[in-house]
Amino acid sequence: MSGGARSWIPWLAAAGVGSLTAVQSRANGSLGTILESGLHASVVSFAVGLTVLTVVGLTVTRIRLGLVCLLAALRSGEMPWWCAMGGVFGALFIFSQSFTVGIIGVALFAVALVSGQNLASLIVDAVGLGPRGRQPVSVVRIASSTIGIVAVGIAVSGRVGEDSLSVPAVALCVVAGIGVAIQQAINGRLTTISREPMAAAWANFAVGSLILTLALLMITATGARALEPLPAGPWWLYLGGIIGAIFIATTAWVVGKVGVLAVSLLVTAGQLTGALVLDVVILDVVDGPLIAGVLLSFGAVALTALGTSRNRSSMTSDAP
Protein backbone atom coordinates (compact mmCIF):
# COMPACT_ATOMS: atom_id res chain seq x y z
CA MET A 1 0.00 0.00 0.00
CA SER A 2 1.37 3.41 -1.01
CA GLY A 3 2.02 6.18 1.50
CA GLY A 4 -0.80 8.25 0.03
CA ALA A 5 -3.28 5.42 0.47
CA ARG A 6 -2.11 4.75 4.03
CA SER A 7 -2.61 8.40 4.95
CA TRP A 8 -6.35 7.96 4.47
CA ILE A 9 -6.63 5.04 6.89
CA PRO A 10 -7.06 7.26 10.00
CA TRP A 11 -9.78 9.27 8.23
CA LEU A 12 -11.68 6.12 7.27
CA ALA A 13 -11.23 4.63 10.76
CA ALA A 14 -12.70 7.70 12.47
CA ALA A 15 -15.69 7.76 10.11
CA GLY A 16 -16.15 4.03 10.64
CA VAL A 17 -16.31 4.19 14.44
CA GLY A 18 -18.48 7.27 14.10
CA SER A 19 -21.07 5.16 12.29
CA LEU A 20 -21.14 2.81 15.27
CA THR A 21 -22.14 5.63 17.63
CA ALA A 22 -25.59 5.68 16.04
CA VAL A 23 -26.06 2.17 17.43
CA GLN A 24 -24.50 3.22 20.74
CA SER A 25 -26.94 6.12 21.14
CA ARG A 26 -29.89 3.84 20.51
CA ALA A 27 -28.59 1.18 22.90
CA ASN A 28 -27.70 3.50 25.79
CA GLY A 29 -30.84 5.59 25.37
CA SER A 30 -33.06 2.51 25.35
CA LEU A 31 -31.29 1.04 28.38
CA GLY A 32 -31.70 4.32 30.26
CA THR A 33 -35.42 4.33 29.49
CA ILE A 34 -35.88 0.73 30.67
CA LEU A 35 -33.89 1.28 33.87
CA GLU A 36 -35.61 4.65 34.39
CA SER A 37 -32.18 6.09 35.15
CA GLY A 38 -29.63 7.54 32.76
CA LEU A 39 -27.00 7.26 35.47
CA HIS A 40 -27.66 3.56 36.04
CA ALA A 41 -27.47 2.93 32.29
CA SER A 42 -24.19 4.85 32.15
CA VAL A 43 -22.69 2.70 34.90
CA VAL A 44 -23.73 -0.47 33.06
CA SER A 45 -22.31 0.81 29.77
CA PHE A 46 -18.98 1.73 31.34
CA ALA A 47 -18.82 -1.55 33.26
CA VAL A 48 -19.27 -3.53 30.05
CA GLY A 49 -16.61 -1.49 28.26
CA LEU A 50 -14.14 -1.72 31.14
CA THR A 51 -14.65 -5.48 31.40
CA VAL A 52 -13.94 -5.97 27.70
CA LEU A 53 -10.85 -3.74 27.82
CA THR A 54 -9.55 -5.50 30.95
CA VAL A 55 -9.92 -8.96 29.41
CA VAL A 56 -8.16 -7.82 26.24
CA GLY A 57 -5.49 -6.01 28.25
CA LEU A 58 -4.71 -9.10 30.30
CA THR A 59 -4.08 -11.09 27.14
CA VAL A 60 -2.11 -8.52 25.12
CA THR A 61 1.35 -7.66 26.45
CA ARG A 62 1.73 -4.30 24.71
CA ILE A 63 -1.44 -2.98 26.35
CA ARG A 64 -0.12 -3.88 29.80
CA LEU A 65 3.19 -2.21 28.94
CA GLY A 66 1.27 0.85 27.76
CA LEU A 67 -0.50 1.13 31.10
CA VAL A 68 2.84 0.80 32.92
CA CYS A 69 4.20 3.65 30.77
CA LEU A 70 1.22 5.84 31.67
CA LEU A 71 1.64 5.19 35.38
CA ALA A 72 5.37 5.88 35.22
CA ALA A 73 4.79 9.10 33.27
CA LEU A 74 2.22 10.25 35.82
CA ARG A 75 4.57 9.57 38.73
CA SER A 76 7.53 11.30 37.06
CA GLY A 77 5.52 14.35 36.08
CA GLU A 78 6.03 13.77 32.35
CA MET A 79 2.25 13.41 32.11
CA PRO A 80 0.27 16.24 33.80
CA TRP A 81 -2.30 15.05 36.33
CA TRP A 82 -5.16 16.44 34.24
CA CYS A 83 -4.33 13.97 31.48
CA ALA A 84 -5.79 11.31 33.75
CA MET A 85 -9.14 13.10 33.73
CA GLY A 86 -10.24 12.08 30.23
CA GLY A 87 -12.57 9.53 31.76
CA VAL A 88 -14.46 12.34 33.52
CA PHE A 89 -15.52 13.77 30.18
CA GLY A 90 -16.28 10.29 28.89
CA ALA A 91 -18.55 9.71 31.86
CA LEU A 92 -20.29 13.02 31.20
CA PHE A 93 -20.86 12.07 27.56
CA ILE A 94 -22.30 8.64 28.32
CA PHE A 95 -24.50 10.06 31.08
CA SER A 96 -25.83 12.81 28.82
CA GLN A 97 -26.47 10.27 26.08
CA SER A 98 -28.31 7.88 28.37
CA PHE A 99 -30.19 10.62 30.24
CA THR A 100 -31.21 13.02 27.48
CA VAL A 101 -32.00 10.83 24.47
CA GLY A 102 -35.16 9.64 26.19
CA ILE A 103 -36.15 13.28 26.89
CA ILE A 104 -35.20 15.27 23.78
CA GLY A 105 -34.64 12.45 21.30
CA VAL A 106 -31.61 11.47 19.25
CA ALA A 107 -32.10 14.45 16.91
CA LEU A 108 -31.68 17.28 19.40
CA PHE A 109 -29.04 15.29 21.26
CA ALA A 110 -26.96 15.08 18.08
CA VAL A 111 -27.29 18.77 17.19
CA ALA A 112 -26.45 19.99 20.69
CA LEU A 113 -23.55 17.58 21.11
CA VAL A 114 -21.99 18.35 17.73
CA SER A 115 -22.37 22.10 18.25
CA GLY A 116 -20.41 21.97 21.49
CA GLN A 117 -17.90 19.49 20.13
CA ASN A 118 -17.08 21.31 16.89
CA LEU A 119 -16.74 24.73 18.48
CA ALA A 120 -14.58 23.34 21.28
CA SER A 121 -12.45 21.41 18.78
CA LEU A 122 -11.43 24.66 17.12
CA ILE A 123 -10.21 26.02 20.45
CA VAL A 124 -8.59 22.77 21.57
CA ASP A 125 -6.58 22.57 18.34
CA ALA A 126 -5.71 26.27 18.49
CA VAL A 127 -4.21 26.08 22.00
CA GLY A 128 -2.36 22.86 21.17
CA LEU A 129 -4.00 20.64 23.77
CA GLY A 130 -3.79 17.62 21.46
CA PRO A 131 -0.65 15.71 20.42
CA ARG A 132 -0.36 17.51 17.05
CA GLY A 133 0.39 20.83 18.70
CA ARG A 134 -1.12 24.18 17.79
CA GLN A 135 -3.35 24.39 14.73
CA PRO A 136 -4.34 28.04 14.28
CA VAL A 137 -7.96 28.98 13.70
CA SER A 138 -8.48 29.72 10.00
CA VAL A 139 -11.35 30.58 7.69
CA VAL A 140 -11.31 27.03 6.33
CA ARG A 141 -11.46 25.48 9.80
CA ILE A 142 -14.26 27.80 10.93
CA ALA A 143 -16.19 27.07 7.73
CA SER A 144 -15.80 23.30 8.03
CA SER A 145 -16.86 23.40 11.69
CA THR A 146 -19.93 25.46 10.85
CA ILE A 147 -20.84 23.25 7.90
CA GLY A 148 -20.58 20.21 10.17
CA ILE A 149 -23.08 21.72 12.61
CA VAL A 150 -25.44 22.77 9.80
CA ALA A 151 -25.21 19.26 8.33
CA VAL A 152 -26.47 17.75 11.57
CA GLY A 153 -29.23 20.35 11.80
CA ILE A 154 -30.43 19.52 8.29
CA ALA A 155 -30.14 15.78 8.90
CA VAL A 156 -32.44 15.88 11.92
CA SER A 157 -34.71 18.72 10.76
CA GLY A 158 -37.66 16.40 10.29
CA ARG A 159 -37.24 14.65 13.63
CA VAL A 160 -37.50 17.44 16.18
CA GLY A 161 -40.90 17.44 17.84
CA GLU A 162 -42.42 20.55 19.40
CA ASP A 163 -42.72 18.88 22.77
CA SER A 164 -39.16 17.55 22.83
CA LEU A 165 -37.36 20.75 23.82
CA SER A 166 -35.80 20.77 27.28
CA VAL A 167 -33.31 23.58 27.75
CA PRO A 168 -31.41 21.92 30.65
CA ALA A 169 -31.09 18.68 28.67
CA VAL A 170 -29.88 20.51 25.56
CA ALA A 171 -27.39 22.51 27.64
CA LEU A 172 -26.07 19.29 29.16
CA CYS A 173 -25.49 17.89 25.67
CA VAL A 174 -23.60 21.02 24.59
CA VAL A 175 -21.35 20.77 27.66
CA ALA A 176 -20.86 17.06 26.98
CA GLY A 177 -19.82 17.91 23.42
CA ILE A 178 -17.23 20.36 24.72
CA GLY A 179 -15.98 17.62 27.02
CA VAL A 180 -15.69 15.15 24.13
CA ALA A 181 -13.35 17.53 22.28
CA ILE A 182 -11.15 17.89 25.36
CA GLN A 183 -11.25 14.14 25.98
CA GLN A 184 -10.09 13.36 22.45
CA ALA A 185 -7.12 15.69 22.82
CA ILE A 186 -6.20 14.12 26.17
CA ASN A 187 -6.53 10.61 24.78
CA GLY A 188 -4.21 11.53 21.93
CA ARG A 189 -1.62 12.61 24.49
CA LEU A 190 -2.06 9.36 26.43
CA THR A 191 -1.58 7.37 23.24
CA THR A 192 1.60 9.29 22.42
CA ILE A 193 3.01 8.49 25.86
CA SER A 194 1.90 4.85 26.04
CA ARG A 195 2.16 4.11 22.30
CA GLU A 196 -0.98 2.05 22.75
CA PRO A 197 -4.48 3.50 22.20
CA MET A 198 -6.09 0.61 24.06
CA ALA A 199 -4.18 1.66 27.17
CA ALA A 200 -5.62 5.16 26.81
CA ALA A 201 -9.09 3.66 26.44
CA TRP A 202 -8.66 1.52 29.57
CA ALA A 203 -7.56 4.56 31.60
CA ASN A 204 -10.64 6.44 30.40
CA PHE A 205 -13.05 3.67 31.28
CA ALA A 206 -11.44 3.04 34.67
CA VAL A 207 -11.78 6.68 35.74
CA GLY A 208 -15.24 7.05 34.22
CA SER A 209 -16.52 3.85 35.82
CA LEU A 210 -15.27 4.94 39.24
CA ILE A 211 -16.95 8.35 39.03
CA LEU A 212 -20.27 7.04 37.73
CA THR A 213 -20.39 4.16 40.21
CA LEU A 214 -19.73 6.47 43.17
CA ALA A 215 -22.44 8.84 41.97
CA LEU A 216 -24.92 5.98 41.60
CA LEU A 217 -24.09 4.60 45.05
CA MET A 218 -24.56 8.03 46.64
CA ILE A 219 -27.97 8.49 45.04
CA THR A 220 -29.03 4.96 45.94
CA ALA A 221 -27.87 5.41 49.55
CA THR A 222 -30.13 8.43 49.98
CA GLY A 223 -33.11 6.30 49.05
CA ALA A 224 -34.06 8.73 46.29
CA ARG A 225 -34.29 5.93 43.76
CA ALA A 226 -34.19 2.16 43.89
CA LEU A 227 -32.14 0.35 41.27
CA GLU A 228 -34.17 -1.43 38.62
CA PRO A 229 -33.04 -4.96 37.71
CA LEU A 230 -31.05 -5.28 34.51
CA PRO A 231 -33.17 -6.44 31.58
CA ALA A 232 -32.51 -9.90 30.16
CA GLY A 233 -32.73 -8.53 26.64
CA PRO A 234 -32.64 -7.64 23.92
CA TRP A 235 -28.92 -8.29 23.71
CA TRP A 236 -28.12 -5.10 21.81
CA LEU A 237 -28.94 -3.01 24.89
CA TYR A 238 -25.45 -3.85 26.15
CA LEU A 239 -23.56 -2.94 22.99
CA GLY A 240 -23.02 0.64 24.15
CA GLY A 241 -20.01 -0.15 26.33
CA ILE A 242 -18.32 -2.32 23.70
CA ILE A 243 -18.80 0.33 21.03
CA GLY A 244 -17.53 2.95 23.46
CA ALA A 245 -14.31 1.01 24.02
CA ILE A 246 -13.73 0.66 20.28
CA PHE A 247 -14.57 4.33 19.75
CA ILE A 248 -12.20 5.66 22.41
CA ALA A 249 -9.28 3.48 21.30
CA THR A 250 -9.74 4.37 17.64
CA THR A 251 -10.13 8.12 18.10
CA ALA A 252 -7.20 8.17 20.55
CA TRP A 253 -5.05 6.82 17.73
CA VAL A 254 -6.51 8.99 14.97
CA VAL A 255 -6.44 12.36 16.78
CA GLY A 256 -2.64 12.41 16.79
CA LYS A 257 -2.65 12.10 13.02
CA VAL A 258 -5.43 14.44 11.90
CA GLY A 259 -6.27 16.70 14.85
CA VAL A 260 -9.30 17.12 17.10
CA LEU A 261 -11.50 19.07 14.67
CA ALA A 262 -11.00 16.57 11.87
CA VAL A 263 -11.86 13.70 14.23
CA SER A 264 -15.02 15.50 15.33
CA LEU A 265 -16.15 16.07 11.74
CA LEU A 266 -15.32 12.51 10.70
CA VAL A 267 -17.19 11.03 13.63
CA THR A 268 -20.19 13.23 12.86
CA ALA A 269 -20.22 12.17 9.21
CA GLY A 270 -19.95 8.55 10.25
CA GLN A 271 -22.70 8.90 12.83
CA LEU A 272 -25.12 10.37 10.29
CA THR A 273 -24.25 7.60 7.86
CA GLY A 274 -24.90 5.02 10.56
CA ALA A 275 -28.25 6.62 11.34
CA LEU A 276 -29.15 6.50 7.65
CA VAL A 277 -28.29 2.81 7.47
CA LEU A 278 -30.34 2.06 10.60
CA ASP A 279 -33.32 3.88 9.10
CA VAL A 280 -33.11 1.85 5.91
CA VAL A 281 -32.47 -1.52 7.55
CA ILE A 282 -34.76 -1.26 10.60
CA LEU A 283 -37.46 1.19 9.59
CA ASP A 284 -37.31 0.72 5.80
CA VAL A 285 -37.33 4.51 5.49
CA VAL A 286 -35.25 6.75 3.24
CA ASP A 287 -34.94 10.18 4.85
CA GLY A 288 -34.16 12.96 2.36
CA PRO A 289 -32.89 15.51 4.92
CA LEU A 290 -30.68 12.84 6.49
CA ILE A 291 -29.15 12.04 3.10
CA ALA A 292 -28.50 15.75 2.56
CA GLY A 293 -26.92 15.95 6.00
CA VAL A 294 -24.64 13.01 5.26
CA LEU A 295 -23.44 14.58 2.01
CA LEU A 296 -22.91 17.97 3.64
CA SER A 297 -21.04 16.47 6.58
CA PHE A 298 -18.62 14.71 4.25
CA GLY A 299 -18.27 18.03 2.44
CA ALA A 300 -17.08 19.52 5.74
CA VAL A 301 -14.59 16.65 6.07
CA ALA A 302 -13.33 17.25 2.52
CA LEU A 303 -12.88 20.95 3.25
CA THR A 304 -10.88 20.15 6.37
CA ALA A 305 -8.75 17.64 4.48
CA LEU A 306 -8.08 20.25 1.79
CA GLY A 307 -7.03 22.78 4.40
CA THR A 308 -4.76 20.23 6.08
CA SER A 309 -3.18 19.34 2.74
CA ARG A 310 -2.54 23.00 1.93
CA ASN A 311 -0.98 23.62 5.32
CA ARG A 312 1.30 20.61 4.87
CA SER A 313 2.32 21.81 1.40
CA SER A 314 2.98 25.31 2.74
CA MET A 315 5.17 23.97 5.53
CA THR A 316 7.09 21.86 3.02
CA SER A 317 7.68 24.78 0.66
CA ASP A 318 8.79 27.04 3.53
CA ALA A 319 11.29 24.49 4.78
CA PRO A 320 14.96 25.35 4.01
Neighbours of 70 (CB within 10 A): 23
Q: What is the pLDDT of residue 202?
A: 96
Q: How far apart are CA 98 and CA 45, in angstroms?
A: 9
Percent of the chain with pLDDT strictly greater than 70: 92
Average pLDDT in the 186-197 region? 94
Q: Confidence band (pLDDT; 50, 70, 90) for 318?
A: very low
**For residue 91, is pLDDT > 70?**
yes
Least confident window among 61-75, 163-177, 250-264, 301-315: 301-315
Least confident window among 174-183, 214-223, 252-261, 292-301: 214-223
- Whether the Cβ atoms of residue 303 and residue 140 lie closer than 8 Å to each other: yes
**For residue 183, is pLDDT > 50?**
yes
**For residue 162, is pLDDT > 70?**
no
Average pLDDT in the 80-103 region? 84
Digit-coded pLDDT (tens) for 274-290: 888 888 888 778 888 88
Listed residue (4, 21, 10, 6) closest to 273, CA to CA = 21
Dihedral angle computed from the Cα positions of residues 150, 151, 153 and 154, in that order, rounded to the nearest 10 degrees: 120
Neighbours of 318 (CB within 10 A): 7
What's the predicted TM-score (pTM) here? 0.87
Angle at 146 between CA 264 and CA 27, to 5 degrees: 40
Q: What is the pLDDT of residue 314?
A: 47
Q: How far apart are CA 58 and CA 69, in angstroms?
A: 16
Neighbours of 95 (CB within 10 A): 25
